[in-house]
Chains A and B, each alone.
Chain A
Amino acid sequence: MPLLIDQKVVADDHWVRVDDTEQLAQLGNNPAILAWELFSQQRDELLAADGELAVAIPNDLDVVELEPLLERLSVIAVDFPSFADGRAFSQARLLRRAGFKGQIRASGDVTRDRLRFMHRCGIDAMEIAEDRFSPEMLGAFGEISVNNQGAEDDPRPIYRQ
């Protein structure tokens, strides 16, 4: 699946998705983004182990629950179950506000016409479905050059710029 990081297409993604215990058992030392439910079940062992940690959260999770983990997580994948479901925009902003410095990755129904909003909300990586990817989609980031509101890319509203 094509992946954008910092507004560029990246060739290979070293993260794999892991949703259940079986996949987890086969994983070995490969870096994985763990489904939140799975992570929660094995939280203590996972936190105690070495290596990078990443989770994929559902969009109805109160991100306060992640706050104790932010230092420890490299990637948080937020979910857009439908392109029209905008909860993850707010989740991403709250995670950045709580000080998360790692990657926030949009997954799900992620397509061109929301990329700029995602970027502004602090989402720096986007997984794009193969059939919706085209290299021109990077143009989406530059379509509008005026930001009336402060957001995660620039906290200053227009009246402080």
Chain B
Amino acid sequence: MYQYSEQDQRLIEERVEQYRDQTQRYLAGQIPEEEFRILRLQNGLYFQRHAPMLRVAINYGLMSSRQMRMLAKISRDYDKNYVHFTTRQNVQFNWPEMEKVPDILAELATVQMHAIQTSGSCIRSVTSDQFAGVVAGEIEDPRPWSEIIRQWAALHPEFAYLPRKFKIAVTGCEQDRAATQVHDIGVRLTKNDAGEVGFEVLVGGGLGRTPMIGKVIREFLPQQDLLSYLEAILRVYNLLGRRDNKYKARIKILVDSMGAEAFGAKVEAEWEQIRDTELKLTQAEIDRVKADFALPAYAADAASGSSYDEKLNSDQDFAVWIERNTFDHKVPGYRAVTLTLKGLLKAPGDVTDVQLDAIADLADQYNFGEVRSTHEQNLVFANINQADLYPLWQALVELDLARPVVGTINDMIVCPGLDFCSLANAETLSVSRQIQQKFDDLDYLYDLGEIKLKLSGCINACAHHHVGHIGILGVDKNGESYYQITLGGSSASDASLGKVLGKSIPRDDVASTLEKILSVFVEIREEGERFIDTVRRVGNKPFKERVYAAVN
């Protein structure tokens, strides 16, 4: 994992003091409300429905056990003993006091954490693949590149006041787990015909009110040109992006109105001016950052023990968990493990301080002291020796972090909605509980197979409902929460946007409506088809007919 240089450390410490001063000047009445709003957002602090919310960056989802213990401590000392992991791999505190935030940030800085650019109209924290570095077939580990981008973006003097927020995702793998096609910029590691590793660059993807799939503007970007190319994109956007209407201010609208080709041509022209400047990455820098992501010292004999196979045969629950919640590792004898933060009837992504401390201990014991957060609001131990899987599973069961539901309809992504978020139009947490209760039969869940269910409490789409196999969007109808359902979305390499099924439904009907949809699926699916495949084959019609059939 990346180790801060002395300058990295100084930067975040100075940023804490700068923010402390900004907070004090605001409290002293020297900064107008609207101006402080933007300053605090650039440092991750929202004013929510009940209290402020502080979003802390977990860059590309990578944390150390030490950092995790700090999150636990902060949740105890300043908050209500839990944290919430978000769909962009970050973590949120829901109840800090505004006056104490500088102290929280100072504590975070002692473990190389910060809240820089986790919100606001600036370049946000970079996201990536939770299985980076450990999956077979990866072109290259995307994390060093994510880190290089993070450093470039941090307090960039030119791009702190963009037309709108700006999100970058990086993937090193064909199977896109970073949703690069629905980001402002998607960076995908790729190889050219000469076998050199570089990047394919997409722009203009995004969700929210006007969902769009990103477009490739450069098929191959040499490695050392990464930052100059990003800088060229950002400069064009900063100058030309709309600022008159916040719903039209994202780069996707600019790319769409100019056309991807014309936008790309502008970027290329700007890039020509700067590609051979000091922005060019040096090999020494690339090597320095890469060295920090060297793989851990794997046990050479990990694949040789027999205890794992014995347990697989003797313990059915363990075998199910292995099948559902663990992932193939490129090193024989190792697996990557997902810790599900989808405890029954808890808010998806929530973890208590006790769990955090326990996870940190397990990470030290079994996973080289490392924890990762995922876009699906789970956590990952990426490097588990198979001999350790059984004791780890037992410990996770105790902690309620082993529900074997990864990839099922119960592994849903849910934003906080009306319970916490001041922008929300509808409740989300009560609906996710309703769904979990309806679909609590694991055999039925497994029979349904992979279904990505995503539930957002408003059009801002924090849960990415447009790219859920089933998407649910909360809307407000005369003060009541209603829900619009879309089918057929995906954020994987075959990205697509879901299509609306029909008119929105009342809250109490959500789970029963899903049940109807899924019963149609079970009836009409063909051999080996996942839900998304069936929807792609037959469209929304049969589902719509069942859901909106006249009651007689």
Contacts and interface: CB of A to CB of B under 8 A. Distances in A.
A87 B239 contact: yes
Contact of A158 (B7, B17, B31, B161): B7
A150 B151 CA distance: 12
A149 B157 contact: yes
B11 A155 contact: no
A121 B273 contact: no
A159 B284 contact: yes
A12 to B, nearest CB: 26
Q: Classify chain A's interface size.
A: 20 to 34
B277 to A, nearest CB: 7
23 contacts: A83-B38, A84-B38, A86-B162, A89-B157, A89-B160, A90-B158, A93-B158, A93-B235, A94-B235, A113-B35, A117-B157, A143-B14, A143-B17, A144-B14, A144-B18, A145-B10, A145-B14, A148-B156, A149-B157, A151-B157, A151-B158, A156-B278, A157-B279
A159 B284 CA distance: 8
Interface of A: 83-87, 89-91, 93-94, 97, 111, 113-114, 116-118, 120-121, 134, 143-146, 148-151, 155-160
B393 to A, nearest CB: 42
Contacts, number: 95
B15 interface: yes
Nearest to A143: B18
Contacts of A155: 277-278
A86 B159 contact: yes
A146 to B, nearest CB: 4
B158 A158 contact: no
Interface in B1-34: 7-8, 10-11, 14-15, 17-18, 21-22, 30-31
Contacts of A113: 22, 31, 35, 39
A144 to B, nearest CB: 5
Given A87-B239, A144-B18, A157-B278, A117 B158 contact: yes
B437 interface: no
Given A83-B35, A85-B243, A149 B11 contact: no
Q: Classify chain B's interface size.
A: 35 or more
Nearest to A59: B239
Contacts of A83: 35, 38, 161
Contacts of B151: 148, 158
B155 A144 contact: yes
A156 B243 CA distance: 31
Specify the main secondary structure of chain B where it touches its partner.
helix
Contacts of A134: 30
B157 A159 contact: no
B545 interface: no
Contacts of A150: 277-279
B533 interface: no
B15 A144 contact: yes
B355 to A, nearest CB: 34
A86 B234 CA distance: 12
A87 B158 CA distance: 8
A160 B427 CA distance: 50
Nearest to A113: B39
B367 interface: no
B35 to A, nearest CB: 6
A149 B243 CA distance: 25
B152 interface: yes
A158 B238 CA distance: 23
Contact of B239 (A90, A149, A151, A158): A90
B157 A160 contact: no
A86 B160 contact: yes
Contacts of A91: 239
B435 interface: no
Contacts of B17: 143
Interface centre among A84, A93, A134 (most CB of B within 10 A): A84
